[in-house]
Amino acid sequence: MKESSLRIIELVKQDSHLRELESRYFTTHYYDISVDHGTGSCRILLVRKAFDATLEKNYRGRLFEDHIVEPKVFAVVLDGSKEIGWIELGYEKWNNRMRVWEFLVENGFRRRGVGTLMMNHAVKIAGERGARMLVLETQTNNADAIDFYLGYGFDLIGFDIASYSNEDIEKKEVRIELGMKT
């Protein structure tokens, strides 16, 4: 896809026609997380593994949620009119970080540079704001997203093995935080 046919526009809450995002993806891999306790130590290991069968995941997100401080929402527009990707950022003043709250590229446009274009824009916005770091959350069963983020330069900065249930590790759906210095 030619980058010249893509442009990024800012959406504003008052004018935004899009309030809800729907994402559907299929995954064949996950990142297995294990936490091993020893005497005087704790070892955490994250290893990419294959599922026995392809897993389908669906997610609904909303833009401009009230809990997001200073939300900035951008869409990638193809050929002047078709929105094919969205990213929502929010500034965390208390620790001077910019958080990616929503990040979605439409099916059919993934792996074609749209995500990189949006992430480049997020880094630019974080830098202009003076944020020390760009951070985001994903789940260990979203291996393609994790691979993208790691390839872009993000590092694992945290995880929560009981964010969604008491069986997140067993369900292979552990919440992880990734971050990169800006």
Round to whole Å and give the CA distance between 66 and 9. 21
Q: Would you place residue 2 in the very low, low, confident or very high pLDDT band (cuts 50, 70, 90)?
A: low
pLDDT of residue 157: 97
Say if residue 18's pLDDT is above 80. Answer: no
Higher pLDDT, 20 or 100: 100
Say if residue 1's pLDDT is above 70. Answer: no
Q: In Å, how far are 1, 80, 93, 119 from 135, measured between CA atoms?
A: 27, 30, 13, 11
Q: Which of 152, 128, 121 is nearest to 138 (CA)?
A: 152
Give the number of other Cβ atoms within 10 Å of residue 91's Cβ.
19
- Give the tens place of pLDDT for each residue, 124-166: 999 999 999 999 999 999 999 999 999 999 999 999 999 999 9
Mean pLDDT of 170-177: 96
Q: Domain locations in the chain? A: 3-181
- Give the tens place of pLDDT for each residue, 61-105: 889 998 998 899 999 999 988 999 999 999 999 999 999 999 999
pLDDT of residue 142: 96
Is this model's pTM higher than 0.85 or not? yes
**Domain 3-181 CATH superfamily:** Gcn5-related N-acetyltransferase (GNAT) (3.40.630.30)
Q: Would you place residue 52 in the very low, low, confident or very high pLDDT band (cuts 50, 70, 90)?
A: very high
On average, the pLDDT of the chain sits at 93
- Determine phi and psi for 71, rounding to 5 degrees: -65, 140
The two three-digit tokens of residue 51, written as one number: 């599922």
Round to whole Å and give the CA distance between 109 and 85. 8
Give the number of other Cβ atoms within 10 Å of residue 166's Cβ.
9
